[in-house]
Structure 1
């Protein structure tokens, strides 16, 4: 069902409408009076509300209302939703509180309400919400003290209290909305539903979200974001980003990932821009809707004062942007129109006595430089400055620009008119130049995210027909044996059938068998504990390196057995694995996966080896991947610089690494019985990539 009945209803019933002063029912009734359609008060105890005939029930109404708003106590809501659904209502907003936010009894009530809604095909917003507004339709179904101005931003929030604060702020800042939605508990209608609706809404240019949780259906949220973000900017602020998952995972990957880090990765690949402040939330919604995205990160700055230019430069560089290097032609052109004492560099300081013509000439030259991806115009109100006249010149330049153009008109009353001119021309203005430079960096980040989104959509399309039957057979065999932890040999075989290269590994249950395996493989070799119960072999002396002969192998076998037996008992010792000691120079990496409760499989890549938790150089991604996504994923790490070659160490085979990452992601995407998977180390060399160790934890029942 479309959500149009929520935002463009022809008729509304307010259940719980009342004249009682200070009540939610009265506040919503008064706000609904501006609605052009029919509004019916429903109150079993009153014949009329504020002079309008009231009805005792939904069934008693003269027509089936398109939207029902409920403000009665929580215990009454289930029956009311049942009644509405039976009457043919398909859209209900539950303002009432007293549900899962209150504990077990409230959770039970909420489940009953949802069951009643689904029984009749009713869509439900809430419960425990402020309500919703559509300023373009004159609809204000909230108990807020003010109404939203019409505009082109859809604002979605889990916090009703924040909604009222934003409303108050928006009037002061002249920010308008296509819709204003308090989502409440999101028992039914969630982020995915709302994003898809406003993605098609002609009044909406951008979608901004205040998020406290992803909700019950993270997959629907991501799918909707991927479908909409390329056409309309989606900007999110998510609170609680410092709270990490409390469970202690046995794998390196599980221990290194946290719910907020996973959300970050999900948003990055879905084209959603995440910001840190409420002010930035609306700033970016505005600038992304008004200005083209930069093709690169090189910013040109034109200013009439040196200090503000330096402030902008600091913010730009700290945000990973670049100060554009002006061409020789641009420098010559600037020399021809500016006084001798101009800065002769970027930022281009046109000096404090610059009139509108000088400022405009410099701006046109900088904007036209092919090495400039965007321009920031900064003005400070000095005695001879013409803020409004210069703003008019900048507005004219913006009309045929094609690159992002931002402005910082610093000051208050004397620059107010100039800001209005710029804003009317679609040029976003900022109080301070560092804020404007930061906005440019965010614009560049958004372009990168849209590129990642495009590749993510390609990866999903390429991944549709993949099957891994041999992997499934191997997992079946382990689970049928009553185990969920694969031993090292099984884990490596799993990787091998998934197309990931592994180092040759043999099992040895005795000393003699270990020597025989070592001589077949060739010295030097490595011996590792083989166990179906122990997770990290090195923690209990279960790894012996660089064994050069049979005597060393025998001694290592006995040492591993004794170490493990001393700590865990003989039952934890199944034998050892024998593999070649890799002497070729390479880079030790970690490639892992764990299962997030909301997002499913999450992939981790970064610097590996025994110091993986200390180095903390890792990044997350969600499957599936293609080669382009894999390469961008790798480039987010610090270790990527080493992979390209440093000093005497050659570059690794990056194409082979990309291929392994794609196959690894495919394995996790299609075999959901893998709970955790670690490859540490994954050795990357100039000749290829090989897994030296692996650990796989499974789950049954799927």
Structure 2
């Protein structure tokens, strides 16, 4: 049995079918029959009789062939028996709509475990429980209990954890003028997950775009693999809810504290080419545009308007979404000058004035589309005072349909633009209520184009790490923070430059070691119970004599004891002080769904104050490492800023790649943090590092 059976069954049994219009069993039976499904429909209820003029079987055992799919609409307590009946009848696909399982607590979770056991033992695949079913508008098939009619055949495949969201979106889509090819409400996902269904949805010839409403991804690594394969051919747009960090675990390191609950999802979507929407409107506005519009070659956009205010608004939103206003060619400006009144603005935005006719709208749009400096157009269309909006729409539709460049239309208004909206929508040209939504959509199209352009153009460098030494160092260690000397050896085996440490257990030993190391020096408290040494007054910088070292040793011990009287204090570490340079932080923590998550940002004492950090899941490619740095002020500053001289950004990139390989290859490493990494004009040195294993 394949999961395709859910979408193309030869026969469907509705277990719990009802003649009562107030019950779900009636709604499912009604929808399946009215959907013009061409397979066999079997209604099952222990009472027998007829429903909607069709005979009702008293049990699954009475149901004749063919029957591939069962929609189980019985109470949760009766579900184990219903699944056992499916097994006896040879049915391998079941949709469980009832609630009362894991979502209600331990008793429901135990019941859900029981139905999963029965399903696994009998080779049955389950969608649900706690879902509203699925539909395929082309097959056609509707196993939901939602009010009719079945949505019109469309081209967006939709997977949702929330049944209520599905119900609302189906109704909303009719008003918005788009529809679905397939829609699945996943519910609790006790068996079949969105990752299981992604390849089935993507293989559907009627599906041009996949949209997803996601609450969690239990198997994050497999999701990335499937999504990355699919997005090479078809776009995926996702709305991930639950962004707050309230569920993140407590962490002692800066890296753990800064890696919010959402950082891994953000990186997972980026790595797999999934376009992340921030709202329900974006989810479907982007999906519709990806299905209907061509992709731009770049981010240079033109604005065409008949009013100054909306034009300025559009220009602002274009830049807000990391695009730029195209510089029109001299030829385009000459053509516009010959066409428009003297008071019109020929710069970008192009303001044709309120008198713009349908002919002028079309002619100006064609000029902009023909300009090689323009990658796409944001066209603003509030109701023209001298012409009907639908007449303007009629003049534009042929040009937009024929264009290889996207045109996003801000159709501003309500009653006066309703007929124009209908005509644009019938021509598969999406419109937006305001310029902000149109600009957001153009940016989405540009991101999709950039993703496709960079496929197969990037790779990770060849490994230089001494993995044998790393494995030997980590072998058999209990779950704990490594001592600083071990952390230093680990980084050295990973080919990360370090400033070696020497441990002094007394002030006299510290002075003696200082003479060996040379000056200037840094002194740090050595205690497994004090992770943030500066907070405890346990770091002294720029020490230039044995006397300063002895005095600092005594102060560091005293400060540490005051800060944490129960701390184990082993002495102090001495280290040559690394001079001028920029301070950054590198780190990694391990996400339970996606694995190691690498961090980069502003280092030193500014870490948690500035929160200038970004994350990317390991492993990293060269392009991903560069993009990770580009997301932060720290990364941009490495190129030099005003009085701050440039530092060796390439050295940081190489250390990021080594760090990502280290945590990817050695899952024993739960957390690692280099803070600061001192970035010099040539090279970079790890000044302080913490590593937690286990």
Q: Indicate whether the TM-score tops 0.5.
A: yes
Partner of 1:44: 46
1:253 aligned to 2:255?
Answer: yes
Partner of 2:22: 22
Q: Is the 8 A contact 2:589 2:672 kept in 1?
A: yes
TM-score, normalised relative to structure 1: 0.93
1:96-115 alignment runs, 5 A limit: 96-115=98-117
TM-score, normalised relative to structure 2: 0.94
> How far apart, in 2, do the equivalents of 1:397 and 1:310 lie?
24
Partner of 1:90: 92
Partner of 1:153: 156
1:475 aligned to 2:474?
Answer: yes
* Partner secondary structure for residue 627 of structure 2: helix
Q: Is the 8 A contact 2:675 2:688 kept in 1?
A: yes
Cα 1:143/1:424, change in 2 over 3 Å: closer
> How far apart, in 2, do the equivalents of 1:193 and 1:555 lie?
64
Q: Is the 8 A contact 2:397 2:427 kept in 1?
A: yes
> How far apart, in 1, do the equivalents of 2:450 and 2:506 lie?
55
Partner of 1:368: 370
1:688 aligned to 2:691?
Answer: no
Q: Which stretch of the first structure deviates more once superposed, 567-576 or 168-177?
A: 567-576
Q: CA deviation at 1:12?
A: 0.8
Q: Is the 8 A contact 1:323 1:346 kept in 2?
A: yes
Q: Is the 8 A contact 1:269 1:453 kept in 2?
A: no
Q: Is the 8 A contact 2:467 2:494 kept in 1?
A: yes
Partner of 1:535: 531
Q: Which stretch of the first structure deviates more once superposed, 226-235 or 628-637?
A: 226-235
Q: Is the 8 A contact 1:43 1:55 kept in 2?
A: yes
> How far apart, in 2, do the equivalents of 1:381 and 1:539 lie?
62
Q: Is the 8 A contact 2:519 2:576 kept in 1?
A: yes
Root-mean-square deviation (Å): 2.3
Cα 1:212/1:237, change in 2 over 3 Å: same
Cα 1:568/1:172, change in 2 over 3 Å: closer
5+ residue gaps, structure 2, are none
Aligned match for 1:654, one of 629, 649, 655: 649
> How far apart, in 1, do the equivalents of 2:447 and 2:45 lie?
52
> How far apart, in 1, do the equivalents of 2:597 and 2:47 lie?
55
Partner of 2:9: 9
Cα 1:101/1:317, change in 2 over 3 Å: same
Partner of 2:181: 178
Partner of 1:575: 571
Cα 1:597/1:62, change in 2 over 3 Å: same
1:488-637 alignment runs, 5 A limit: 488-569=484-565, 572-584=568-580, 586-637=581-632
Partner of 1:677: 672
Partner of 1:422: 424
Q: Is the 8 A contact 1:463 1:624 kept in 2?
A: no
> How far apart, in 1, do the equivalents of 2:17 and 2:64 lie?
17
Partner of 2:288: 286
> How far apart, in 2, do the equivalents of 1:466 and 1:29 lie?
62
Q: Which stretch of the first structure deviates more once superposed, 123-132 or 549-558?
A: 549-558
> How far apart, in 2, do the equivalents of 1:233 and 1:82 lie?
39
> How far apart, in 2, do the equivalents of 1:58 and 1:129 lie?
22
Q: CA deviation at 1:467?
A: 8.1
Q: CA deviation at 1:450?
A: 5.1
Q: CA deviation at 1:679?
A: 0.7
Cα 1:142/1:321, change in 2 over 3 Å: same
* Partner secondary structure for residue 540 of structure 1: coil
Q: Is the 8 A contact 1:94 1:127 kept in 2?
A: yes
Runs of 4+ deviating beyond 6 Å: 462-467
* Partner secondary structure for residue 676 of structure 1: strand
Equivalent residues, number = 691
> How far apart, in 1, do the equivalents of 2:597 and 2:454 lie?
16
1:642 aligned to 2:632?
Answer: no
Cα 1:470/1:639, change in 2 over 3 Å: same
1:197-212 alignment runs, 5 A limit: 197-212=200-215
Cα 1:194/1:483, change in 2 over 3 Å: closer
> How far apart, in 1, do the equivalents of 2:277 and 2:446 lie?
13
* Partner secondary structure for residue 579 of structure 1: strand
Q: Is the 8 A contact 1:452 1:629 kept in 2?
A: no
Cα 1:312/1:697, change in 2 over 3 Å: same
> How far apart, in 2, do the equivalents of 1:298 and 1:583 lie?
43
* Partner secondary structure for residue 534 of structure 2: helix
* Partner secondary structure for residue 153 of structure 2: strand
> How far apart, in 1, do the equivalents of 2:56 and 2:423 lie?
50
Deviations 1:478-533 (A, max 9, x none): x1xx4521011211211121122212322333334433432333200101122233
Q: Which stretch of the first structure deviates more once superposed, 350-359 or 618-627?
A: 350-359
> How far apart, in 2, do the equivalents of 1:360 and 1:648 lie?
51
> How far apart, in 1, do the equivalents of 2:152 and 2:370 lie?
37
Q: Is the 8 A contact 2:586 2:673 kept in 1?
A: yes
> How far apart, in 2, do the equivalents of 1:488 and 1:335 lie?
71
* Partner secondary structure for residue 675 of structure 2: strand
Q: CA deviation at 1:248?
A: 2.0
Q: CA deviation at 1:643?
A: 0.8
Q: Is the 8 A contact 1:455 1:626 kept in 2?
A: no
> How far apart, in 1, do the equivalents of 2:12 and 2:566 lie?
73
Deviations 1:58-84 (A, max 9, x none): 333323621111111112212322332
Deviations 1:527-554 (A, max 9, x none): 1122233322222222111110111112
Q: Is the 8 A contact 2:530 2:567 kept in 1?
A: no
> How far apart, in 1, do the equivalents of 2:677 and 2:223 lie?
33
> How far apart, in 2, do the equivalents of 1:257 and 1:615 lie?
14
